[in-house]
Amino acid sequence: MNSILISSAKLLLPQHPQDGEIVDILIENGKISNITAPSDPGGEMVHIIDGSGCIVSAGFFDLHANFGEPGLETKEDIVTGTSAAAAGGYTGVAIFPNTNPPLHSRSEVALVVNAAKGNIVDVHPVGAVSKNREGKELAEMYDMQSVGAVAFSDGNHAVQQAGLMSRALLYGKGIGALVISFAEDESVAGGNQMNEGEMSTFLGMKGKPNLAESLMVSRDLFLADYNESPIHFTCISTAESVELIQKAKERGVAVTCDVAAHNLIFSDEDVQGFDSNYKTNPPLRTKKDIAALVEGLKDGTIDAVVSQHTPHEIEFKNVEFQIAKAGMIGLQTTLPLMVKAGFGAEEIVEKLSVAPRLILGQRMPSLLEGSDANLVLFSMTEKWILDGKSNKSKSANSPLWSQELTGKVKAVIHHGLLVENK
């Protein structure tokens, strides 16, 4: 498909000369050839996408998604993962090393990079900080960076040894690499199943206290400050973490952070029905924590929103809550959850398109005439249902299954390829 016309859409992109205007965007051979006021397309042989009432912006970029490849392809492979990402409005995803084997050496990172070539969605591997994600010995970070690793993290295994984390930050600083911290002190979290609070007491379940997260946030902020290194916290979930990061930013620490979209909507009260799709890590917190997270996004303390897309086969979810795996699919539901949380289109563009690329130092699509088309078209008001027909993931572990959602991605265009959600 050589020519595509997006008609009558509102362009939202900070610094763009036509930011906030209703425009027609003509794309020819993968490049934006013309941006004009809405007009009759006439007899041109183009594929027309009606953007009336919709927003067009740079494609979304996810800082935290999990695919299964290599080793766990029954959960999600690169083909199905990128299909879900495109359906959710993403043209770039950073995938975490929670695989088997983990992305902890040059060969695994190169495998992912090569397998994802030619896709509408750019796949950016996040290499492991430690070998086998065991938290004992630094992995070969420079080797992984040389073949495409964009950052380093031990994924959902928080680095427990402060000395190892300090060395990772120092080494990352030396090679210009960002270290991403998943903040959980396992000795305090205790492997428990949900948030510690009134609801866990009511349900008779052992809980993870907010302290398990805030202790690790505090430790890693001290380490980043000591080493004068940048650090990024992924999936923060507590009011205490927001406060700690806000104060660190005020002190001049080079810290950024993100929050998972589901932690902006769901709370520990949703666990009452023991639906294992509500089991996540970090766990769903209290409504007080949710309010702090939303406020943190609005005042700039929290930089970005992530999907934390974590697919699982049915045998890992359709079991008792206590033994179920943590996580839910989220690439296609991040936009609806942000709409439900009360964020406007400008805030969504900032937290899903702009900030994630700035954090990783990725090139920002300009959406200027003559540039490569890398964009998303989405509606803030259109409704759709997540079900077997609309779901593009290999897995179906979502508490939003069969529910009507508000906020729909209409199309993404990247690398001369088009994906539309009918």
Task: Break the chain into its structural domains and give their ranges.
Answer: 3-56+368-420, 59-360
pLDDT on residue 394: 97
Q: Please write the tens of the pLDDT for every residue from 285-305.
A: 999 999 999 999 999 999 999
pLDDT digits (tens, 9 = 90+) for 326-350: 999 999 999 999 999 999 999 999 9
**Average pLDDT taken over every residue of the chain:** 96
Distance CA 167, CA 174 (A): 11
- Which is the CATH superfamily of the domain at 3-56+368-420? Urease, subunit C, domain 1 (2.30.40.10)
| pTM of the entire predicted model | 0.96
Residues comprising the chain, all counted? 422
Query: Residues of the chain with pLDDT > 70: what percent?
Result: 99
The candidate with the shortest Cα–Cα distance to 234, out of 183, 289, 162, is: 183
Q: What is the pLDDT of residues 228-250, one digit of tens each?
A: 999 999 999 999 999 999 999 99
pLDDT band at 43 (very low <50, low <70, confident <90, very high): low
Confirm whether 3-56+368-420 and 59-360 share one CATH topology. no
| pLDDT at position 133 | 97
Q: What is the mean pLDDT of residues 217-226?
A: 98
Whether pLDDT at 1 is above 60:
no
Distance from the Cα of residue 314 to its chain's centroid: 23
The number of CA neighbours under 13 Å toward the Cβ of 59 is 29
Q: Could you check whether the bond before residue 282 is cis, i.e. omega within 30 degrees of 0? A: yes
Question: pLDDT tens digits for 52-109?
Answer: 999 999 999 999 999 999 999 999 999 999 999 999 999 999 999 999 999 999 999 9
pLDDT over threshold 60, residue 387: yes
Cα–Cα dist 78/89, whole Å: 16
CATH 3.20.20.140 holds for 59-360: yes
At 325, phi and psi to the nearest 5?
Answer: -75, 150
The tens digit of pLDDT for each residue in 363-381 reads 999 999 999 999 999 999 9
Residue among 323, 156, 193, 188 nearest 271 (CA):
193
